[in-house]
Chain A
Amino acid sequence: MLRRLVFLVITLLGASIVVYGALFLAPGSPVAAATQGRSLSPVAVKLLEQQYGLNKPLVTRYVDWLGGVVHGDFGSSIVFSEKVGHLLTPRLAVTFELVLYGAVILVLFGILLGTLAALRGALDKLVLFISTVGIATPSFVGALVLISLFAVKLGWFPSLGAGTGVGGRIYHLTLPAIALTVAGTMGVARVTRTSVILELTRDHTDTARARGIAPGGVLRRHVMRNAMVPIATMSGTVIANLFIGTVVVETAFGLNGLGALLVSSVLDKDFAVVLAITLILATAFMVATTVTDLLALWLDPRLRTEGTR
């Protein structure tokens, strides 16, 4: 447990060094981005560089930045002339709510569809077809289909914005959450279907049947219980990836989240913001995968014994 935490921190540190280094070595001056094409006198440029600490050596700047991060200070945005922290706080909520909403949809529908497909032969082919199409649908394509159908044609849902209040938020985030999770839900459905079918044919399931245990009990305590291991692993991995998927979906739905800001910041070369968002998303991703690993350990005692080595 502690080793995992240390590993997580070390990996994040490594990641930050690589990203920090790469971004500041990248072609194109951040000052140019800040001035937005206006030509400035060399003195003004110097002043700007001093203001954002661009004249110091890379390593010093990294250490300064890292020190700031530890105290919750991610530096200042060149484009918005604002503390990155202030910039991110409201957006953080949008992104995390979107992921949470998506995760609920994903787990509920994925497991439901997959189990139905495995148990009801008649539905199997249909689910297989839907899942093939679903997995192949990029989130932005799904987004546009949803927008044109439910927002433009039918007008049931708004096409843009994140809404206010709990109800408004859920209402506004429904289409984005669906678009975000189409592929993932189908992936979970697929894994569920395969694992349930596999567990149905296992010897220990036969043993349970041979002892006269009712089908419900066999399904619950043997088939689903054992299939939960791969299902949880898959769901966790997919949910971790949702954090990255928000980048696309937020852009498509014009949501003011971290992802949309990341894209505009990359285009503007607003490095402090890019760095901060990258690290937040990478952290969220890694925490999610770590939680997934722990969940699998909890579900499968065999992994526990091997995990202690």
Chain B
Amino acid sequence: MSALEVVPSAAPRSRRRGIPRVSLGYVGIAVILIITVVAIFAPLISPQDPNAINLLAAKQGPSSAHLLGTDASGRDLLSRLIWGARTSLLGPLLVVVGGTLLGVTVALVAAWRGGIVDAILGRCIDIGFAFPGLLLAIIASAFFGAGLVAPTIGLAIAYTPYIARLTRSVAIRERRLPYISALVTQGMSSFAICIKHLLPNLAPFILMQATLTFGFSMIDLASVSFLGLGVQPPTSDWGLMVSTGEQSLLQGSAWESLFAGLMLVITVGAFSTVGHWLEGISERRLSR
């Protein structure tokens, strides 16, 4: 009845919160794109060999020879940061892809089938919640040995229940909308409805979750690296660089930790900005 009268009261709110988010969202996307391109073309962009040791040029500040300075072994920091983007992005990407595929599948099955299937999957999800991400990543390192693979698998498993639980609740809400019932009464198969209608309408939400998860798992993986349980030296990785830079930092040369930490903050910040921007979009979609 009052569809039109709803709009005005929502309008000032979305103006207050929506517009800065939109522009910030684009900034975030731009940052993510730039870092991704740098990571992909690292061999072409990197000015020097990231692993070339030069003890004579150790712990230097930024100069024309080394734009961002050097680490304790005299390796070029800019080159290490560029190569580090690869490992630092690859891990979270695998976590997000794995966790989302698994989580969304579980969520859709649970939401669509309902009843006993939903109850069983729901219990599994609850049990999964007992394992916080970082703890599982550390245990995985203990199990498989340190490296990129073990913590990544651990995190993917740890994030699956989170993704599944949130997606399930949104999917159940969407499934109850009459347009889905309308499609059932059209005689369309469950699978087709899920793939052609339900999933596309959940897409903004799933994308939002994936983006936020990317940021979180990046922090987790960097933390594992920082603890020495993740990527092993001499591979370039931002989390590892913060850790190896700690010694220099205590001696007054903060460059390595500073730049690596900054890259982490900027990248995760970009992902969470885009995530919150998408959250606004999917909320508006869902609160139709």
Residues of B within 8 A of A11 (CB): 126-127, 130
B253-278 at interface with A (beta carbon < 8 Å):
254, 257, 261, 264-269, 271-273
Say yes or no: A247 contacts B227, CB within 8 Å: yes
Residues of B within 8 A of A19 (CB): 139
Main secondary structure, interface of A, reads helix
Say yes or no: B273 contacts A263, CB within 8 Å: no
Q: Which 7 A-B residue pairs are closest in the complex by CB-CB distance?
A: A136-B269, A136-B268, A141-B261, A266-B142, A138-B219, A244-B132, A140-B226
B268, closest chain A residue (CB): A136
**CB-defined interface of B234-266 with A at 8 Å, one 1/0 digit per residue?**
000001001101100110101001000100111
* Contact of A241 with B132 at beta-carbon distance under 8 Å, contacts A22-B139, A267-B228 already known: yes
Residues of B within 8 A of A208 (CB): none
**CB-defined interface of A126-145 with B at 8 Å, one 1/0 digit per residue?**
00100011011111110011
How far apart are B77's CB and chain A's nearest CB, in angstroms? 16
Number of A-B residue pairs having CB atoms within 8 Å of each other in the complex:
141
Chain A's interface size range is 35 or more
Does B198 lie at the interface of the complex (its beta carbon under 8 Å from any beta carbon of A)? Answer: no
In the complex, what distance in Å separates the CA atom of A19 from the CA atom of B249?
Answer: 37
State which of A41-49, A106-114, A278-286 sits at the interface with chain B: A278-286
* Contact of A135 with B222 at beta-carbon distance under 8 Å, contacts A144-B242, A144-B246, A269-B142 already known: no
Residues of A within 8 A of B191 (CB): none
**CB-defined interface of B101-131 with A at 8 Å, one 1/0 digit per residue?**
0000000000000000000000000110111
Residues of B within 8 A of A145 (CB): 261
In the complex, what distance in Å separates the CA atom of A207 from the CA atom of B266?
Answer: 43
In the complex, what distance in Å separates the CA atom of A145 from the CA atom of B245?
Answer: 12
Main secondary structure, interface of B, reads helix
* Contact of A144 with B249 at beta-carbon distance under 8 Å, contacts A28-B145, A138-B222 already known: yes
Interchain CB contact (< 8 A) of A137 among B20, B129, B265 = B265
Which B positions have Cβ atoms within 8 angstroms of A? 9, 13, 16-17, 20, 126-127, 129-135, 138-139, 141-146, 215, 219, 222-223, 226-229, 239, 242-243, 245-246, 249-250, 252, 254, 257, 261, 264-269, 271-273
Residues of B within 8 A of A197 (CB): 13, 17
Does A84 lie at the interface of the complex (its beta carbon under 8 Å from any beta carbon of B)? Answer: no
- 14 A-B pairs whose Cβ atoms sit less than 8 Å apart in the complex: A14-B127, A15-B130, A28-B145, A121-B16, A136-B264, A136-B267, A136-B272, A140-B226, A140-B242, A252-B246, A266-B141, A267-B146, A274-B139, A285-B130
